[in-house]
Amino acid sequence: MRISKEPEVRKQEIIDTAMKVFAEKGYEVTTMKDIARAMNVASGLCYHYFQNKQELYETALSQYAKACSAIFIGIFKQTELSLEQCLEKMGAAWMDAQNGGTYAYEGFFHNEGNELFHRQLDMEMIHEVLPFTVNYLDELKRRNEIQAEDTRAAALFILNGQIGIINDHTMTMENRYEMIRKMIIKILK
């Protein structure tokens, strides 16, 4: 029996199923037919919403990066926060997300062998967060709380520079956070 769903609901269902199948089978070997089979629908339905597997993945990546970035963007929007307050909130949000399993597609992006996909997610998240980071740093600079000559360059340096530390699981989360916090303060003050 055919089940009718709203287009956005169906599209999201395809994305969620695709990410689950990618995590189970691997992106390279997964086909649109595999995704449709996992949903118990005709493969044509997947092609109705996405031209191909790459477009489906890119949509999921963009959507997931927005979701993962939302908490950090919300903190950067609080431009009244001091640098220390912002860093404290960022650290707490990051640790809560890591410990709480709030990342829906974590099973795919954190699987061994998917490091390239994880780097794509990191870059997409930087793209999402960058304008809010720059705006926040501009406000700190306006209040003479930081000495950054070029806030956009500082934001790019900080956002890109912390990725290696965030993803270095030889250190505890607390140590990674503390190292990043100290470096950001040294860069900006």
Q: Give helix then strand counts, H and E, for the chain.
A: 9, 0
Instruction: Give the Cα separation of 16 and 112 in Å (integer).
Output: 20
pLDDT of residue 63: 92
Q: Which residues does the chain have with pLDDT short of 50?
A: none
Give per-residue pLDDT as tens, 134-172. 999 999 999 999 999 999 999 999 999 999 999 898 999
Domain boundaries defined on the chain? 7-50, 57-188
Decide: helix, strand or coil at residue 175. Answer: helix
The CA distance from 92 to 30, in Å, is: 36
Residue 146 is encoded by which pair of tokens?
Answer: 């930081």
Find, among 69, 76, 78, 9, the residue nearest to 39 by Cα. 9
Q: What is the pLDDT of residue 98?
A: 76
pLDDT at 109: 80
| CA–CA separation, 76 and 167 (whole Å) | 22
User: Rounded to two decimals, what is the model's pTM?
Assistant: 0.87
> Domain 7-50 falls in which CATH fold?
Arc Repressor Mutant, subunit A (1.10.10)
